[in-house]
Structure 1
Amino acid sequence: MGSKYCGRKREERSHTLPHIPCQDLSSSSDKRKRVQEALKTFRDEFDKRYCQYKSNQLDYCLKTKVLKETAVSMQKQYQCENTKKRLGHVDGINVGDLFQYRAELVVIGLHHEFEKGIDYLGKSESSLATSIVATHKYSNVMKDGCLIYEGQGTNPRVRKPLAHHDQKLETGNLALWNSMNAKRPVRVILKISGKLKYDGLYSVDKMTQGRGEFGKLVFKFVLNKLPDQPASVSLSPKDDVMETETFQKRPKSRDHAVPKDIVKINDVSEGKEKFPIRVKTPISGVELFKPFNYLVTMTSCINRVSQCGIQFELEIFKTESKGWGVRTPSFIPSGSFVCELVGEFAHHNNKNAESILHDANYIFNLGFGKGFIDATKHGNIGRFINHSCSPNLCVKDVMYDHNDKSVPQKMLFAEQDIPADRELSYDYNCFKRNFKVESNDCYCRSPKCHGQIYI
Structure 2
Amino acid sequence: MSVRHRKVKQALEMFCNLHHELMVQYEASQLGNFKSKSKLLIRAAMCMKRDNQWENSQKRVGHVLGIEVGDQFRYRVELNIIGLHKQFSNGIDYMGRGRNSLATSIVVTNRYNNIRKSRDALVYTGHGGNPNNTWYSVSACDQKLAQGMALKNSMDAKSPVRVILKVREKSHGVENCSSRRSHCLLVYDGLYLVTNMTHEKGVFKFTLNRILEQPQSCVALKDDVTGNADNSKNFESVGKGFIDGTKCGNIGRFINHSCSPNLHAKNIVYDHNDKNLPHKMLFAVKDIPAEL
Give the TM-score category using the shorter length. 0.7 to 0.9
1:31 positional shift:
1.0
1:390–1:427 CA contact under 8 A, matched in 2: no
Matches within 5 A, 1:154-173: 154-155=129-130, 156=133, 159-161=136-138, 163-170=139-146, 172-173=147-148
Contact 1:233 1:244 in 2 (8 A): no
Contact 2:187 2:217 (C-alpha < 8 Å) held by counterparts: no
Deviation (angstroms), 1:71: 0.8
Which digits, 9 at most, give the CA deviation of each residue in 1:384-437, with x for residues without a partner? xxx8313769xxxxxxxxxxxxxxxxxxxxx9489xxxxxxx555342585899
- TM-score norm. by structure 2 comes to 0.74
The match for 2:152 is: 177
Q: Is the 8 A contact 2:70 2:216 kept in 1?
A: no
Equivalent position SS for 1:429: strand
Q: In the alignment, which of 42, 49, 54 is matched to residue 68 of structure 1?
A: 42
- Return the letter of the residue paired with 1:79: Q
How many pairs does the alignment contain? 245
**2:186 counterpart residue number:** 196
Q: Return the match for 2:128 from 140, 153, 166.
A: 153
Give the one of 260, 268, 283 matched to 1:431: 268
1:100 corresponds to 2:74: yes
Unaligned residue ranges in structure 1 (runs of 5+): 1-27, 212-216, 236-241, 246-258, 263-281, 285-316, 325-386, 394-414, 419-425, 441-455
8 Å Cα contact 1:98-1:197 kept in structure 2:
yes
- 1:330-372 residue CA offsets vs partner (Å, 9 max, x unmatched): xxxxxxxxxxxxxxxxxxxxxxxxxxxxxxxxxxxxxxxxxxx
The answer on 1:87 being equivalent to 2:56 is: no
Contact 1:391–1:427 (CA under 8 A) maintained in structure 2: no
What is the CA-CA distance between 1:98 and the residue it aligns to?
A: 0.6
Contact kept? 2:109, 2:165, Cα under 8 Å: yes
For 2:83, the aligned partner's letter is G
Counterpart among 111, 136, 151 of residue 110 in structure 2: 136
Could you say which residue in structure 2 is the equivalent of 1:350?
A: none
- Deviations along 1:315-339, one digit per CA (max 9) or x if unpaired, are xx97444639xxxxxxxxxxxxxxx
Counterpart among 218, 235, 238 of residue 203 in structure 2 = 218
In 1, distance between residues paired with 2:100 and 2:207? Answer: 21
Counterpart position of 1:44: 17
Is the 1:145–1:232 contact (alpha carbons within 8 Å) kept by the matching residues of 2? no
Aligned-residue offset at 1:51: 2.1
The equivalent residue for 1:243 is 222
Alignment check: 8 A CA contact 1:144 1:232 kept: no
Q: Which residue of 1 aligns with 2:95?
A: 121
**Distance change >3 Å, CA 169–CA 99, structure 1 → 2:** same
Structure-1 residue corresponding to 2:195: 205
Aligned residue identity for 2:154: S
Measure, in 1, the Cα distance between the counterparts of 2:254 and 2:267. 12
Structure 1, residues 42-72: CA drift from partner, whole Å, max 9, x if none? 0110111112211122222211111111111
Larger radius of gyration: 1
Q: Deviations over 1:115-170 (max 9, x none)?
A: 11100001111000000000121211211300111110024557534x52101111
Between the aligned partners of 1:174 and 1:29, the Cα distance in structure 2 is: 35
The answer as to 2:2 corresponding to 1:29 is yes
Q: Secondary structure at the match of 2:143?
A: coil
2:180 aligned residue: none
Q: Secondary structure at the match of 1:32?
A: helix
Partner of 1:323: 241
Contact 2:61 2:161 in 1 (8 A): yes
- If each structure's helix is expressed as a fraction of its own residues, which one has the higher value? 2
* Residue 68 to residue 201, structure 1, CA distance change in 2 (3 Å): same
Give me the whole-angstrom Cα distance separating, in 1, the residues matched to 2:267 and 2:96.
53
Is there any run of 5+ residues in structure 2 with no aligned partner, and where?
169-183, 243-249, 281-292
Distance 1:232 1:222 in 2: 19
Letter in 2 for 1:223: L
> 2:178 maps to what in 1?
none
Deviation at 1:79? 0.4
